[in-house]
Amino acid sequence: MMATLFYLIGPSGSGKDALLQGLRQRLGGRAPLLFAHRYITRDWHAGGENHIALSAEEFAQRLERGLFKLHWQANGCRYALGIELDAWLDSGQSVIANGSRAHLEQARRCFGERLMPVEVRVDPQRLRQRLRARGREDEAAISARLARNARLERERRGQTLRIDNNGDLDAALTRLQRLLLAHLGAPADV
């Protein structure tokens, strides 16, 4: 079986970080799956993601030296996945990474048939509630995010595996775990 990069995507507020954190805790290194860290020009205390914080200058330095496999800019920050992903995949290790919906085609060009997009989906009303609860954006910005999300979902229909995260996080985590382990041919009780 070919090593796979599970490219987890979904809108802000869909629960990607919580799912990755929960999956990491559940699997605890027992499954044939590595967790990639993103490189982000954001303080390591910000947000729930376990990422590698870089200054804008450090990011530019690594980019210039070819140390990123995939990079993008969004929400006032720069993001990247490192070239270590190639080494991991080439050695037969499957990997899960927090990706970008807007840069899915770029990821497909970078990783080819090794890429398996997994989309975290949340109903628009529930997503609106989650974005409001975060308190980072006003109603106009939230509405713009929801419109963008609807457009991106239409564009990707049928191109990704989907995980519903509308209710209980633990249930969504179980669905994600089962999906990944089934694809990897690993026992469901890992």
Q: Is 15 one of the annotated binding-site residues? A: yes
Query: Is 90 within 8 Å of 49 (Cβ atoms)?
Result: no
C-alpha 145/C-alpha 12 separation (Å) is 8
Q: Is 16 one of the annotated binding-site residues? A: yes
Tell me the angle at which helices 169-184 and 16-27 cross, rounded to the nearest 10 degrees: 60
Q: Is 187 one of the annotated binding-site residues? A: no
Query: Residue 102: CA atoms inside 13 Å, Cβ hemisphere, count?
Result: 11
Look up residue 114 and give its two tokens: 């090794």
How many Cβ atoms are within 10 Å of 4's Cβ, its own excluded? 20
Closest C-alpha to 176, from 44, 41, 22, 50: 22
- DSSP class of residue 99 equals -
Q: Is 29 one of the annotated binding-site residues? A: no
Q: Is 17 one of the annotated binding-site residues? A: yes
Q: Is 48 one of the annotated binding-site residues? A: no
Known binding positions for ATP: 10-17
Residue ranges at the known binding site: 10-17
